[in-house]
Structure 1
């Protein structure tokens, strides 16, 4: 009896109907009937009592179903272990949005990868919301995002540290030496912002709607480099996660006089087992983010 035949057999046992079982298995009814007949011929057992279209398990059928159930449980565990082994020896797919990428990718490539040559990192740089979607769809194993408080129920969020959102101007701007600014004052200026796929903009939009404030966005861009160019060209101020501009020359960050922040976190899918190698990557990222937070 093959593994496939065992699965066919248990489906028929559960539904007690060949037609319904064939539909659930997405196979022809004749194929399923032949498979059950083959099992009975190979085992020498009468597994079902038939009455028209209705079928019921015989005593031998019930005993065989118990043994097959136990055996398939072990097969499923074996297949899970094999997949786990394959993932350990494969790539770790990691999504890092742009606001974190300039900070964490050099540390991963310069420090983590040389220390762990056996781990192959496959890093991409989508937006924050897209990173979360990629984890949910299992197209990446994990992501670092600037969490804004809204969650996807399929994902596990491991919070690490909160960092402020700041008003960003260029050197020479009239507000360059301002110690702090209110959100209402900042919104009096036309702004260049990251697109709505980024958590910082999603959070800003929710707050302005809730407070009945008007967000005057001159331009939305999916690229931080574009915003940097617009800031350097003195086009308009911006509102960004503090880490996005921490190493950028020619700009000035002004804190808000109320707490506006995003929380850096690692996200994984709840239904996916975390491998040993993935835990090493997560531990390194967590340590780097906490270390950077203490220095600031």
Structure 2
């Protein structure tokens, strides 16, 4: 007995009239009658008491009706669940930390959403290290970070481009005219840095430690906006991923004598299958980051 035949059977039982049931189902009466005969043949049960076109359900028919009703309820729940899963594939959750967010989010919400309105983007802006943990814990589908090379074993890192980390000051600062600066000079500070939940600060602290340099850090902030304010008010220099300050005016970026860089990458979880929609988002992000690499 097929699912379709079961659905036909329920309608016949409810209306107890082949003509009316066929009309409701939009099929020929002969097709419906043949379906009911097939069910009786397959089950070996006498399901109906017939009197012309009017029929009554037998006791066996009533028992089968109850079983089919319960079974189809389960089938409907299963189909609803599959549809819900399919809908969720059209919703992509992303973690994009602050240093990438200002560049990527406008492009995702404007250009990508215009090209793919069927895909819903759910974007959060955690710290870089936190973004990787969110992928690991399956709280998001993927993350886009500037990371320091450290990896977690159950995550896949799709490297895209590398961009420099620079010493950031303002015009008129004593070091503003320098073509480059050493780590030791930058460390004399005082400096304002992002908190250690950011890969750029983890990279700096590891580099300072390897060179046995103790940096003079006046303040750690979890917010780029705070560092921007401190730079604008000439409070203290900072050290940041270059792209984090491209939108700021009256800022001077100075490279280090020994170059430092962060690698942009897309993080996914190894054990999770990547859907077609996720691949579209990842392809778009990769294209945008590579296009940015070509910018002056």
Fold conserved (TM > 0.5)? yes
Match of 1:221 in 2: 221
* SS of aligned partner of 1:295: coil
Matches of 1:269 and 1:87 in 2, distance apart? 17
Distance, in Å, in 2 between the alignment partners of 1:236 and 1:276 is 46
Aligned equivalents of 1:288, 1:279: Cα separation in 2: 14
> Structure 1 residue 240 and structure 2 residue 252: aligned?
no
Matching residue of 1:189: 189
Q: What's the secondary structure of 1:267's corresponding residue? A: strand
Give distance in 1, aligned partners of 2:134 and 2:219. 26
Q: Determine the C-alpha separation between the residues in 2 that align with 1:187 and 1:234.
A: 17
TM-score computed with the length of structure 2 as normaliser: 0.71
Q: Which residue of 2 aligns with 1:269?
A: 269
The residue that corresponds to 1:168 in the other structure is 168
Q: Please show how residues 9-20 of structure 1 align to structure 2 within 5 Å.
A: none
Q: How does 1:1-296 map to 2 (within 5 A)?
A: 85-89=86-90, 91-296=91-296
Runs of 4+ in 1 over 4 A off after TM superposition: 80-84
> Where does the alignment leave 5 or more consecutive residues of structure 1 unmatched?
1-77
Match of 1:166, SS state, is strand
Listed one character per residue, the Cα deviations across residues 225-280 of structure 1 (whole Å, up to 9, x for unaligned) are 00000011111100000010011112111111112000000000111110100000
Q: CA RMSD in A?
A: 1.6
Q: Is the 8 A contact 2:189 2:215 kept in 1?
A: no
Matches of 1:103 and 1:171 in 2, distance apart?
24
**Are residues 203 and 83 of structure 1, via their aligned partners in 2, closer, same or farther at CA, if it must alter by over 3 Å?**
farther
Kindly indicate whether the alpha-carbon contact (under 8 Å) linking 1:84 and 1:275 is maintained by their aligned counterparts in 2: no
- Number of corresponding residues: 217
- Give the secondary-structure state (helix, strand or coil) at the position aligned to 1:126: coil
* Cα distance in 2 between the residues matched to 1:237 and 1:118: 44
Tell which structure's C-alpha radius of gyration is larger.
Answer: 2
Shift of 1:145: 0.5
Q: What secondary structure is seen at the aligned counterpart in 2 of 1:220?
A: strand
Counterpart contact for 2:159–2:263, Cα < 8 Å: yes
In the alignment, the residues of structure 1 paired with residue 257 and residue 282 of structure 2 have an alpha-carbon distance, to the nearest angstrom, of 33
Counterparts of 1:219 and 1:103, CA distance in 2 = 25
TM-score by length of 1: 0.71
CA distance in 2, matches of 1:130, 1:207: 21
Q: Distance in 2 between matches of 1:211 and 1:83?
A: 54
